[in-house]
Structure 1
Amino acid sequence: MRATDQLMNDCSETWEAATNHAFCKELAEGTLPIEKMKWYLAQDYKFIDRFVRLLATAITHAPTLADSIPAAQFLAVITGPENTYFLRSFEALNMTQEEQNAPAAKSTLAFQNLMREAQVSGRYEQMLAVLVVAEWSYLTWANRYVAYSPDLPFWFSEWIDLHCGDGFEGVVEYLRSQLDQVWDGLTDQQKADATQMFARAVKCERDFFDASFNSQD
Structure 2
Amino acid sequence: MAGDGLFERLKASCPAEWAAYTRHRFVRELGAGTLPQACFRHYLGQDYLFLIHFARAYALAVYKADTLEDMRRAARSVSVLLDTEMSLHVRFCAGWGMTEAEMAALPEDPATIAYTRFVLERGMAGDLLDLHTALVPCVIGYAEIGAWLAADPQTRREGNPYLPWIEMYAGEDYQEVARGAAEQLDRLLAIRGGEGRFDLLARTFRQATVAEIAFWEMGLNPAR
Specify the alignment match of 2:6 in structure 1: 3
Specify the alignment match of 2:204 in structure 1: 197
Number of corresponding residues:
215
CA–CA distance in structure 2, aligned partners of residues 57 and 99 of structure 1: 24
How large is the Cα RMSD of the aligned pairs?
Answer: 2.7
CA–CA distance in structure 2, aligned partners of residues 169 and 90 of structure 1: 22
1:173 aligns with 2:179: yes
Say if 1:78 and 1:30 are closer, same or farther in 2 by CA, change over 3 A.
Answer: farther
Letter of the 2:57 counterpart: L
Aligned to 2:167, which of 142, 152, 161? Answer: 161
Say if 1:172 and 1:93 are closer, same or farther in 2 by CA, change over 3 A.
Answer: closer
1:213 aligns with 2:220: yes
How far residue 99 of structure 1 moved from its aligned partner, in angstroms, is 6.6
Specify the alignment match of 1:140 in structure 2: 144
- Structure 2: gaps (5+ residues): none
How far residue 42 of structure 1 moved from its aligned partner, in angstroms, is 1.1
1:112-148 CA deviation, whole Å, 9 max, x = no partner?
Answer: 1112202322501111101211111111111122266
| Matched residue SS, 1:46 | helix
- Is the Cα contact below 8 Å between 1:82 and 1:162 reproduced in 2? no
Specify the alignment match of 1:119 in structure 2: 123
CA–CA distance in structure 2, aligned partners of residues 214 and 107 of structure 1: 11
Letter of the 1:56 counterpart: A
1:10-54 CA deviation, whole Å, 9 max, x = no partner?
Answer: 111110110012212222333221111111011111111210011
TM-score by length of 2: 0.81
Specify the alignment match of 1:53 in structure 2: 56
CA–CA distance in structure 2, aligned partners of residues 59 and 177 of structure 1: 18
TM-score by length of 1: 0.83
| Matched residue SS, 2:150 | coil
Q: 84-93 or 191-200, which moves further after superposition?
A: 84-93
Say if 1:216 and 1:16 are closer, same or farther in 2 by CA, change over 3 A.
Answer: farther
Q: 35-44 or 113-122, which moves further after superposition?
A: 113-122
Say if 1:150 and 1:88 are closer, same or farther in 2 by CA, change over 3 A.
Answer: farther
